Structure 1
Amino acid sequence: MNGEKRTRTRVALMFGAVVSLDGRDVPVRLNNLSLKGLSCNPDPRLVEGKDCVVRIALSGSVTIRVQSRVVRVNPCETAVEFLEMDPESFGHLRNLIRMHAEDPDRIDDEIIGIPAFES
């Protein structure tokens, strides 16, 4: 047993994103991304337990926007859990992850097998 608790495939991406909390926009660089959250560079303005909004701009008019929460902060990384997003953002997120996954079909299997969000 490897002790891995993650149920979602993570893809390594070096995209820029913006985490908005407490009325401030904090630019970050992603380390990895999944359907359930992300890991990014640490920033002292990102405080564990704070609700936030993550925005990942894909093109001029296409942006993934996700209601989120900062769940872990350490000197090496910040982890953000996704809480809620609209269907359009979810579709773009799914496509982005599929495009960068080693096994794109596994992403769809994860969606079918494990609900992404509690209802």
Structure 2
Amino acid sequence: MDDRRRRLRVPARYAVHLEYGGSRNRALTLDLSLRGALCIAHPPLPVGAACRFLLTLAEGYELSVDAEVVRAESDETALRFTAMSPETYAHLRNMVELLAGDADGVEAEETVPFQ
């Protein structure tokens, strides 16, 4: 089975920013996991592009995650997270756990956090 299909993905609609090539563009997440996100992005980013995924939480804290575009079709951009701080990973894990309503499912898929 393809690894990306085994990951717990949760529907998640968040306004985010994608930084790429010196610009900061708005995007909307469709789903979120511990290892990536599917977004609607205009303009779409090219496959293989390194970018930064930025999500501002209600508390005013901004999650900043390094990512790579792994798929781009029409207006959908699939991101694989490549690096984040342990603090950001903890916030992301809590979000996915709350959205999934399944702490055991999140724990079962968890690997070593990004360094």
TM-score by length of 2: 0.88
Aligned counterparts of 2:75 and 2:60: Cα–Cα separation in 1 = 32
Name the counterpart of 1:10. 9
1:67–1:38 CA distance, 2 compared to 1 (3 A): same
1:51 match: 50
| Structure 1 moving runs of 4+ over 6 Å | none
Structure 1 gaps, min length 5: none
8 A contact 1:40–1:77 mirrored in 2: yes
Q: Tell me the matched-pair count.
A: 114
Contact persistence 1:17–1:29 (CA under 8 A):
yes
CA distance in 2, matches of 1:109, 1:55: 26
* Structure 1 or 2: more strand by fraction: 2
Using the aligned pairs only, state the percent identity. 31
Instruction: Evaluate the alpha carbon distance shift between residue 4 and residue 102 of structure 1 in structure 2; reply closer, same or farther with a 3 A threshold.
Output: farther
Deviation at 1:8, TM superposition (A): 1.8
Local SS of the residue matching 2:106: helix
Give the structure-1-normalised TM-score: 0.85
Instruction: Name structure 2 gaps, 5 residues minimum.
Output: none
Taking the aligned partners of 1:115 and 1:91, their CA distance within structure 2 comes to 12
| Shift in CA distance, 74/116, structure 1 to aligned 2, threshold 3 Å | farther
Are the aligned partners of 1:52 and 1:69 in contact in 2 as well (CA < 8 Å)?
Answer: yes
CA RMSD of aligned residues (A): 1.8
